[in-house]
Amino acid sequence: MEKQRRPSRPVIGNRRVSKQQRLKEAGYDQVPRREYVNKNPYERRREKSAKRARKNSNANPNVRKVKQSVDRAVSSQNVATIKKRSKPFVRLLWFLVIVLILLFAATFVYARVLPLNPDLSGNYELYNISSNAAAVASSHQIANVAVFGVDGREDVEGDRSDAIMIGSADFEHNSLKVTSLMRDTYVDLAGLDYFDKLNAAYSQGGPMEALKTINENFDTAITDYVVVDFTALVAVVNSVGGVDITITDEDELYWLNQYLMDVNDKVGTQDPDVPGTGPQHLTGSQALSYARIRYTGNGDYDRTQRQRNILEQVVAKASQMNPIEQVKLVQSVLPYVETSLRTSELFRYGLNFLIMRDKTIAQFRLPADGLFVDGYLDDVSYIFPMTLVDNIKAWYNFVYQIDYTPSARAQEISEEIEYTWYE
């Protein structure tokens, strides 16, 4: 069959004219034009082909189904690819979770399960610790450390333990406990074979001699000590942003500002006088001056209470710091601290402290209220425990919450103190 030829454009005269030209010559000035009149033939051809393809695909349901099937297949393949790519990440995430759980478990075991007093294994006699006290300490998760605050100023001859405390971290009952020891307590100085004030032990033989004296007289099982220099309290209080203290009366205010002049001179600060009584926010030097007051109120008894008040606020504020601030606090204190604790022990006690829920401090004093008398011996004032055995029992009840039977050596010292007082 012969293919029909496309009719050619009409010829006018000797030239071919288009439909638009003929309409224009006929008097139609506004000739409607299609959108693609200015497009090249290739663009017009592509547009027509695309239009026919769309028309055919919409008209034919089979083509539409095939197209939808292809789209679903492509979508499923993409999802499978995403899932396949995400599997290594999920495995890594689970691995990290398991590692964190194991690390937490190991930390808990290291901090809470392992014994806190390893030095008591066969070595307790080196510290003048009785077998009774060693047995109690080994069977409890309670760490006791002797703390000595010394007046290490250059113009003071010899170091005097101005503050003597026992810090107890009770991980069985989740509490912190501080016991102040009266420095004028009449005790048997370990290794020296004579009785004197408790703070004389430090000046005679340093922290280890003072530690042995505490163990022998109060029947404790302490193997470690921390010595804090005169200026450490200034740095600590300033690091936590100061402490809030209530100045009870004008007499206490007077002595605080009197001590402040000496502290500013020795420490190199220029802290102003505390302005008045009542609630006051104290800087480091002001807090140290407050802790040293002893010529007002109930003398040394109130003095130890002031020291515990400051310590309680410092611990409370330090526990609210973030880890970076806590590290800075430790760094500010370390130059003024001497300790027998090893780095691993410090790390372990720090972990226990972070795990501990209740970080408030329970306070106690030795000799305890109602278990001492003030008196003079050879014109020297002392505090006589009455009796020493009763004070030991009271301390064990406070720290370990048990009924304790003091050792034979502690009972012997107690009887000798009674004999000296009643003689």
Q: What is the mean pLDDT of residues 297-303?
A: 80
Give the pair of three-digit tokens for residue 148.
């000595």
**Lowest-confidence segment of 37-51, 76-90, 275-289, 356-370 by average pLDDT:** 76-90
Q: Where are the domains of the chain?
A: 20-59, 73-114, 118-422
Q: Which of 113-122, 321-330, 372-381 has the highest mean pLDDT?
A: 372-381
What pLDDT does 244 receive?
92
What whole-number distance in Å separates Cα of residue 251 and Cα of residue 259? 13
Q: What share of the chain is helix, strand, coil (3-state, %, to 5)?
A: 55, 15, 30
Cα first-last separation, the chain: 151
Tokens (6 digits) for 42: 């290739």
Evaluate whether the domain defined by 118-422 bears CATH number 3.40.190.10. Answer: no
Q: Name the residue with higher pLDDT: 25 or 13.
A: 25
Instruction: Report the mean per-residue pLDDT for the chain.
Output: 77
pLDDT band at 62, cuts 50/70/90?
low
Question: Of the segments 65-79, 145-159, 195-209, 297-311, which one has the largest average pLDDT value?
Answer: 195-209
- Predicted confidence at residue 149, as pLDDT, reads 84
Residue type, 288: L
Residue 84, class by beta-carbon neighbours within 10 Å (0-12 exposed, 13-18 middle, 19+ buried)? exposed
Asked if the model's pLDDT at residue 235 lies above 90, the reply is: no
pLDDT tens digits, 140-180: 888 899 988 886 555 444 455 678 899 888 888 888 888 99
Q: Residue holding tokens 């740095």?
A: 235
pLDDT tens string 371-420: 999 888 888 889 999 999 999 999 999 999 999 999 999 999 999 998 88
Q: Decide if 218 contacts 395 (C-beta within 8 A).
A: yes
What is the pTM assigned to this prediction? 0.68
Q: How confident is the model at residue 108 (pLDDT cuts 50, 70, 90)?
A: very low
